[in-house]
Amino acid sequence: MTSQVYYERHQSLAVIRINNPPVNALSQSVREGILHALEEALADDRISAIGLLCEGRTFIAGADIREFSQPPQAPSLPEVTNAIEASEKPVIALIHGTALGGGLEIALASHYRLATKGARFGMPEVNLGLIPGAGGTQRLPRLVGVPLAIEMIVHGRKIDAEQAYASGLVDEILKGDSLLQSCLDLCPSLTNIGVAGRRVSVRSIPKPVEALACLEAEESRMRASGAKRQAPVQCLRAIRAAVEHVFAEGARVERELFLECKGSDEHLGLAHAFFAERRAIKIPELAHANPEPIRSVAVLGAGTMGRGIAISFLDAGFPVCLFDIDQAALEKGLNAISKHYDRSVAKGRLSREAADNRIHGLNSTLNYDALSDIDLIVEAAIESMQIKCAIFKELDRVCRPGAILASNTSTLDIDQIAASTGRAADVIGLHFFSPANIMRLLEVVTGTNTSNTTKATAMALAKSIGKVGVLVGNCYGFVGNRILYRRLPEAISLVTEGATPEQVDRVMTEFGFPMGQFAMSDLAGLDVGYRAREERRQSGEEVPRSWLDVLVEHGRLGQKSGAGVYRYEAGDRRPKEDEEALRLIAAFREAQGVVPRRVEDSEIRERCLYVMVNEAFKILDEGVARCESDIDVVWNCGYGFPADKGGLMYWARKEGLPFILERIRSLYGETGLEQWQPARGLLAAVDQANFDATTSSTG
C-alpha cells in the first residue's frame, strides 16, 4: 500500500488500516493507499467485507489542510469516497475519537458505520472557510435530514455517538473496546445484508417539505444577520443542491463551491488562524519542562470574573474551591454559578446529571487556611496592586510549597505581585477574558522569575480547560490590552475631532469586529477605565482628560447604568445613539476650542487599526510576544478580531506594511505623538519587504 495505509486480512474481513499521525489526515498518500487497498480487497475472492480502521487517538480528522495551498494531487477525495460507496463488498467505517470533515465523508460513503461510545462527529470545514468537498453536503442531509445537516455543516456543530446513533448517522455503538473484534463479530450479518440499500447517495432527502422550509428559514436568518463570511452561505447552497437535485448534480455543485472557497481569502485567513493557535502552544524553551499535575483549583474572588473562571474549571472536571472574604459576595457567587448550570439544563446544553456533577465539584470558603492543599490558586480580585499584593502575601503564608499562585490581573506588573511572596518561581499571570467560561483566550503572563515548570503547567492547563494559551511577557496590559489601550485613545480623539461614536463603531463592525470600541467600553463599564485613569493621574502621571471622563462624571457608566456612550433601554443590550451623550461631547469640544470637522470612514479605519499594528510591532521589539502569529491568536480569541482576516499581523501584511508605515510616519509628523512613532520591527519588516521586492525584480 503506502507507508500510511496497511492492508490486512482477518478471515473474510479485509482491514484497511490508516496510520498517519497525529490525526490521520487524508494526505495524498493516504488517499492513494485507501484506493489501492480497496482494489486489492475487491479482487480477493476470500474477502466478503472491508473494515476501515485508524491507528492512534482518532479516526480521520479530515483532509490534510496543509495540502490546500499546493497544487491538487490525484486521487482527489471525491474519487476515494465515490470508490468506497461503489464497492460491491460492504465497507464498514470503524470510528473512534473524532470523524471530522473528509473523515466523516469517508464514513458517510461507507455502507455501515460502527462507533465507540466516546466517538464524535462533525463537519468543521466552515470554520476553515470551506464547505465539505467530498460529498458531505450531499450525503449527510440524505442520511440525517436537512435540519441536523444544517447544524453540522453550516454551524460546524459536533455531535456525540449517542446523538449520531439517534439520528441514524451511525448504525451501532460498540460495547466492547476492540473495534476490530466487534467488526469481525458483526461481519457475517452485515455481509448478508449487502450494499444495495446501503448507498447513501441514492437515498432521497427525508421529509422533503420540512427540509425545504428549514433551508429557507436558515437562508432568511442568514440574510437578516448580515453576516459577512461566505463559507456558511456556500454550505447552504450546497445543501439546497442536495434537496433539489440527484446526487451527481448536487456533487458537481458542491465541488464547484468547494473550489471557490478553497481559493478565497476567507479560507487562507482562517487556515492561518488555525495553525497560529497550534503554533502558540509549541514553545521551544519549554520543550523539556514537565508540567506539574493540577488536581484542585481555588478561585479567589466571587465576582463576575471569578465565577466565570470557576465555571471554566468545573466544566473541565476540576474540583473548585471558591474563596471570598465577604460572606454575602461568596453566596451571591455560588448562587450565580448554580443558576448558570440551571440555565444550561433548561436550554438543553447539559443534562441535569452533568450539571449536578459540576455543581458538586464546587465548594467554598471564607478562610485562607482552607487553601493549604490546593494545587492552583487563581486570584480574581479587583484590579488594585495593593489588594493583590496583600492577597499574595497571605497565599504565600498558607499554600503548600509548589502550588501555583496565579493572578488574573489584566494589566498589573506580575513581578511586583510575585515580590510580595517568597516564591516568585511559582507566580504567574493567568489572564482570562470576559465572559471567562466562554472566551477562548488565556494570556499566560510570565514574570522575570517564573520557572519553566510553572509556565509549562499553565500552558498545559490552558489546553485541558479548552482555552488557547498564549505565553506573553510582563508589561502594562501585556499583549491584548496594551494594543487595545492604543486603539481606545485614538477612537476617543476621532470623536473629539468630529466623528460620532456610532460612526467609529460602525467602521469597526464593518471591518468585522463583533462590537465597536465604544459599545465594548459600555459593556465593560466606563467607570473601570475612569478609575484606572484617575489612579494614574493621582500618582502624578499626565493622563489627558477626555469626553469619556465627562460622561462618567455625569453618571453614565455604560450598560449597567442604562447609559454610557450610548443609551440602553430596559432589557435591551443594543446600543442606541443618545442626544445627551452627543451634547456632552459637543460641549467638551467647545471647552477645548475644537472646531469639529468631517472625519472620513477611511481615516477612522486607518487610525484605529494602524495604531494597533504599530503597538504590536513594539511589543515584538520588546520580546513581550514571541512572534507575530501569537499576536494574531490573542486578538482573534480574546477581542473578536475577525478570524477570517487571519489576525491583526496577518491582515497587516496583506494590507501592505510599506503603506501602513507611510501613514504612520505621516501621522507621527502631524502629531508627534508617541503611539505614532514607528516601531523598530515595523521599519525592519518594511526594509526587508523592499529588499525582497528589489531582489525578486532584479533576479
> What residue ranges bind ligand 3H9 (CB under 6 A)?
22-23, 25, 61-66, 77, 98, 100-102, 105, 124-125, 128, 130, 132-134, 136, 275, 278
**Would you say 20 or 675 has its CB closer to ligand 3H9?**
20
Q: Rounded to whole angstroms, how far apart are CA atoms 384 and 484?
A: 20
Sequence-separated (6 or more) residues with CB below 8 Å from residue 65: 25, 128, 271, 274, 275
Cα 589 from chain centre: 40
The C-alpha atoms of residue 161 and residue 116 are separated, in whole angstroms, by: 7
Tell me 87's DSSP state. -
Q: Taking a C-beta distance cutoff of 8 angstroms, is the pair 315, 437 a contact?
A: yes
Q: How far is the CB of 624 from ligand 3H9 (least distance, A)?
A: 23
CB of 327 to ligand 3H9, least distance (A): 41
Matching residue, cell 498564549: 470
State the number of CA atoms in the 13 A half-sphere of 45 facing the CB.
0
Q: What is the nearest approach in angstroms of ligand 3H9 to the Cβ of residue 60?
A: 8
Instruction: Between 278 and 536, name the residue whose CB sits nearer to ligand 3H9.
Output: 278
Phi, psi of 668 (to 5 degrees): -65, -40
Nearer Cβ to ligand 3H9, position 624 or 637? 637
- For ligand 3H9, which is the closer residue by CB, 108 or 565? 108
Is 256 part of the annotated catalytic residue set? Answer: no
The answer to whether 443 and 481 are in contact (CB under 8 A) is: no
Closest CA to 63 of 157, 131, 165: 131
Q: Write down the residue that cell numbers 460572606 correspond to.
A: 327
Run of H or E including 150: helix 146-153
Min dist CB 70 to ligand 3H9, Å, is 12
Enumerate the β-bridge partners of residue 51: 15, 92
CA distances (Å), origin 635, targets 202, 250, 651, 685: 46, 38, 12, 21
| SS3 label, residue 490 | helix
Q: What is the dihedral of CA 251, 257, 263, 265, to 10 degrees?
A: -140
Q: Can you read off the three cell numbers belonging to residue 95?
A: 470510528
* Choice among 125, 218, 266, 292 that is catalytic: 125
Q: Where are the beta strands (DSSP E) in 11-77?
A: 13-18, 49-54
Do 416 and 407 form a contact (C-beta atoms < 8 A)? no
Catalytically annotated residue among 32, 85, 105, 277: 105
**501-511 and 517-524 helices, crossing angle to 10°:** 110
Nearer to ligand 3H9, 461 or 519 (CB): 461
CB of 191 to ligand 3H9, least distance (A): 29
How far is Cα 6 from Cα 54, in angstroms, rounded to an integer? 10
Q: Please say which residue, 102 or 564, places its beta carbon nearer to ligand 3H9.
A: 102
CB of 22 to ligand 3H9, least distance (A): 4
Instruction: For residue 475, give the DSSP letter.
Output: S
Cβ partners under 8 Å of residue 526, min gap 6: 548, 551, 552, 556, 557, 558, 564, 565
Minimum gap (Å) between residue 309 Cβ and ligand 3H9? 22
* Helix axes of 648-655 and 628-639: crossing angle, nearest 10 degrees: 120
Q: 355 and 341 in contact (C-beta within 8 Å)?
A: yes
Integer distance in angstroms from the first to the last C-alpha of the chain? Answer: 43
Shortest distance in whole angstroms from residue 85 CB to ligand 3H9: 15
Q: How far is residue 383's CA from residue 249's CA, in Å, rounded to a whole number?
A: 60
User: Which of 307, 467 has the CB closer to ligand 3H9?
Assistant: 467
- Name the minimum Å distance from CB 241 to ligand 3H9: 15
Query: Cα(297)–Cα(319) distance, rounded to whole angstroms?
Result: 6
CB of 276 to ligand 3H9, least distance (A): 10
Give whichever of 124 and 501 is closer to ligand 3H9, judged by the CB atom.
Answer: 124
Is 105 annotated in the active site? yes
Nearer to ligand 3H9, 77 or 144 (CB): 77
In this complex, which beta carbon is closest to ligand 3H9, that of residue 79 or of residue 692?
79
Identify which of residues 59 and 588 has a Cβ nearer to ligand 3H9 in the complex. Answer: 59
Task: Write phi, then psi, for 176 (nearest 5 degrees).
Answer: -80, 180
Min dist CB 146 to ligand 3H9, Å, is 18
Q: Is 50 exposed, middle or buried (0-12, 13-18, 19+ CB in 10 A)?
A: buried
Question: How far is Cα 346 from Cα 512, in angstroms, rounded to an integer?
Answer: 32
Residues recognised as catalytic: 105, 125
